[in-house]
Chain A
Amino acid sequence: MKTEPANPPANGDEYITNIWSRSLTQPVAIAVMVSSIFVGVAGLINAISPGQPWLSLGSVFFLTALEAVYTTNWLHHPDRRTVARTGYRAAEFFFLLLILRVAAWFISKQPLPDLDTIRLFLRAPLLFFSDSFFLAMLILAFLNWLLAIRVGIIFAHLAVSPGEATFYAQPASVQMLHADNKPIYTGRGNLMREFIQVWLWGGVLLIISVGFSSIDLHTLEQQFNVLSLTHLGLPTELLMALVLYFLAGFWLTSQGRLEALNARWLINGIHKHDTIERHWQRNSLFVLLGIALIAAFVPIGSTLPISRFLNIALGVLSYATTMILYLFSFLLGALFSMLASRAPDSQPPPPTPTPLATPQPLNDFVANQQPPAAAADPAAMLVMSSIFWTIFIAAMAIAILFYWRERGYRVNGRFLHQLWNQFMHWVNDFWQNVSNQVGELRHTWQQQQKEDPQPAASKSSWRFVRLNALSPRDQIRYFYLSIVHRAQDSGIPRQQSETPLEYVNNLNDQWPEKQQEFEQLTEAFLEARYSAHPIAKNQANGIKQIWKRVRSVIRNP
């Protein structure tokens, strides 16, 4: 027993759907319901064109539907009235498109595109999308997304809005005073009917898809009698989709009913007790699970006597229909034969039947596409592909930025500015180093020009190089290359494909006692050859001593 005073509501909060239902259970149930339909359709496609992981798309459909419902709820909030709905939905779809493309690679277990493939995509952008599995997944996900939005909108409108709760919680006299602020009437009965329609027709589509995916469709080409078709087992995914679809649909029907009643109670000024919401959720769950549990123990279909009777009845009906059709076609044939007897005997020979093209699996469709006979202008193709990718990347970037910006995730301009400064600093340093090196090289070259006015091409050997005239970097290079030259004369040539580090192993093998010197010399050469920083004079002198020691050894083996 409980005692509760019959007081009118102080505010309308108790009529607003609780946070758990609004933010968790309802979106999940809608996503489960909607994605179950498309799992059924994917199952049908799998039966028609096996070979691709169609049944693995359930998670993609579920997440897509969940995102759609959450976005719908987010957009329905009064604070987001100023957000452009169409633009935001377009941005959301572009965002999903990108994610779905990546998901398609993972689900179909294709390798991620390598550099050659990316270059191919850059030249021919349509190849980026022309994957049959991705296209089919995209179409299904798009329909799934649209349906989830529709159901999400229905439930967003069914729920009592904060404005309604605030207005109708006031006394009638205050409501009369603020009649201009009266919320627009929402026909929740029509919304419930719309949801039931969506649910029932979705159920019909699901049942048809599941039904046809359970039969061997190849036997359908040979005979049309559905009673004698070969049956395949139902995949677990489809069984789950079937059960979850109807349970989620019933549960959402119950939730919608509660939303509609909440609105009615609020508008009529009926005080709602706190226990209603809790008992409602609990009861609907218990009733559904209880009935689902009991139904699991009831004899299934063909074991029922009534099923046999109905089968017999259907057989008789089918037989009678076939007989009537046969009789009708016989009569028609007889009539045409009578008419044909008056026609001239010279009949043209029947045309040779053209063999039907064997249907190709969807996934091979794109692969078998032949290149066009006339090759397009490469320059024009390059321009077109550049334009396409520029527009695509810009649109994608704008869409993603718009999608996240409206949700409150703004780009940190300060951070970007800091990154930009770092980048510019790095570019300046790099440019300074390059300028130094160029200046150094130019200086060296000018020195050489002054000392040896003959053209460089006429130089036959390094023998006439004056070491002190070279820069420390060039001195080190000279020491190393002279050693390589001498080693070659001693029978240790450096192959074209060998790197200095590989070549030093050969030298070490030949003159193990000078292993350290060879390595120091190689290391100094690599630094002089590839580094950007200037080389000190002392370092070149040190290498010169090493060079002398090594030269003597190579000279006197």
Chain B
Amino acid sequence: MGQLTGLIIFLLIVAFLLRIDFIFYVVYVCIGVYAWSRWYTPRAFARLTGQRSFTDHAFRGEEVTVTLHIGNPNRLTIPWVQVNESIAPHLRQNKLVADVISLQGRETAVLTYPIKAAQRGFYKLGPLRLSTSDLFGLMPEQQAYLPPDFITIYPRITPLSQLGLPSRLPFGTVASRQRLFEDPARPMGVRNYHSGDSPRQINWKVSAHAQQLVVKTLEPAISLETAVLLNLHTDDYQRRDRATYTEWGIEIAASCASHLVNQRQPVGLITNGIDPLLKQTGAGELDFDETSGRLLRQAGTNGNKTALIPPMILPRNGRAHLMKILERLARIEADETIPLTDWLPTACLNLSWGITILVITPRGDEATCHGLHRLVRSGFNPVLIAIEPDYNFGLVRERAQRLGFAAYNITQTRDMDQWKRPLRGKPATSL
């Protein structure tokens, strides 16, 4: 502040010219206040600490509490600190985080605010902007930033009881109605011997006790190793509300993967969408949508979109593996990458024989069906799940039946009710 400096100089001149020692006292006070404001404020502010703590993964619909810790390690008070937290619009509730606080020496202020996980995605929380100044307005306002943190919102998972998927893999853990897949390790009971039963199935101890021949009954079981193949090539989606159906497809994929992992079956994920985080090296380069706050594709990758297609997640079982799949599904975005028919033969190269492939695609047109038929002929067990409404889906189902695979049209949550029915007394023929 130049005016105060001018006053100090004037005071010094008067003090020296008129030799009034007491004016020096006033000069010292002015210099003291000026020096205090210019020295202490930036020094204290630079030592300010900030931390953001929250659960960095959440399911859609959950409410997450974010806690901000702003600490003053100095011995003296910082009279005011303005705190502005930037929150993604999709996470924001009706309250903004804009506070002004005062921090005494060695004090830590704790600010909490809730966010709503309304939409799946990879979001940025922050940066937290801190600003302060001195008590007298002698120091320009100081700014500091706490770097942003990120939160992953998983897609919505619809709990399923049974999918009814066929399998070709015997000796699994899933009960089946096909006698072909009877598992000697899963004895179910005994029954009277009938002509034609294998003598190896006779339970001799029980037969001796019962004075008649009885044979062991075995529970059929299959192994449902599944790969979820999600088509997110935007040109394949013909409906106007394309974004809605891509999100719907991701939701179906997440629900199926979750159900299968809950059934202790190995699940993998293959998709031709893009993962915006795939090729990005640092958080500073991330580009987030201003409207939604969600992570966007990295700028400058328009020419080589296939580079952003994430690698296949091979089928594994376990909760950790499911989290990996869900995290991928949280970030995945639809884009103009590779059409399904071109991508399908190469996408399944690394899969083992007999694996069930849940192909989630917008429509079951002829090309798609032929592509799936090729998978059948390659020894896989494809299942078509079309997610866009198709009023002639009966034709598609017939075509699929002829070509050797099952087809479902799941366009809304109500269509999944068939997979939500509780299991009956008898085991299902498939998962």
- Interface residues, chain A, with chain B CB atoms under 8 Å away: 1-8, 192, 196-197, 200, 203-204, 207-208, 210-212, 214-215, 226-227, 229, 231, 234, 239, 242-243, 246-247, 250, 253-254, 256-257, 260-261, 265, 268-273, 275-276, 279-280, 282-284, 287-288, 291-292, 294-296, 298, 300-302, 304, 307, 310-311, 314
Contact = CB atoms under 8 A, between A and B. Distances in A.
Contacts of B82: 265, 270
28 contacts: A1-B110, A4-B99, A5-B112, A6-B111, A192-B137, A207-B14, A214-B20, A231-B18, A242-B22, A243-B26, A247-B29, A250-B136, A257-B136, A261-B80, A271-B100, A272-B99, A283-B77, A283-B79, A284-B79, A287-B33, A287-B36, A291-B33, A295-B25, A300-B22, A300-B25, A301-B15, A301-B20, A301-B21
Contact of A265 (B1, B79, B100, B110): B100
Interface stretch (B90-98, B336-344, B403-411): B90-98
Contacts of B420: none
Contacts of B30: 246
Contacts of A4: 99, 101, 109-111
Of residues B82, B95, B101, which shows the largest number of chain A Cβ atoms within 10 Å of its Cβ?
Answer: B101
A3 B68 CA distance: 10
Interface residues of B, number: 51
B22 A227 contact: no
Contacts of B3: 196-197, 200
B108 interface: yes
A284 B77 CA distance: 11
B112 A200 contact: no
A2 B137 contact: no
A254 B108 CA distance: 25
B323 interface: no
A300 B24 contact: yes
B290 to A, nearest CB: 19
B59 to A, nearest CB: 24
B24 A301 contact: yes
A7 to B, nearest CB: 7
B28 interface: yes
A310 B6 CA distance: 18
A211 B20 contact: yes
Nearest to B12: A310
Nearest to B104: A279
Contact of A246 (B17, B29, B109): B29
Contacts of A291: 28-29, 32-33, 36
A286 to B, nearest CB: 9
A292 B96 contact: no
A257 B21 contact: no
Contact of B28 (A250, A284, A295): A295
Given A270-B82, A287-B36, 8 more contacts: A5-B111, A5-B112, A211-B23, A272-B99, A280-B79, A301-B20, A304-B24, A307-B16
Interface string B88-128: 00000001111111101001111111000000000000000
Nearest to A245: B26
A196 B135 CA distance: 14
B11 interface: yes
B145 interface: no
A158 B374 CA distance: 79
Contact of A234 (B20, B77, B79): B20
A284 B32 contact: no
Given A1-B107, A211-B14, A287-B36, A6 B23 contact: no
A196 B137 CA distance: 11
A283 B112 contact: no
A294 B32 contact: yes
B4 interface: yes
A8 B24 contact: no
A276 B109 contact: no
B10 interface: yes
Of residues A6, A256, A279, A283, which shows the largest number of chain B Cβ atoms within 10 Å of its Cβ?
Answer: A6
B135 A283 contact: yes
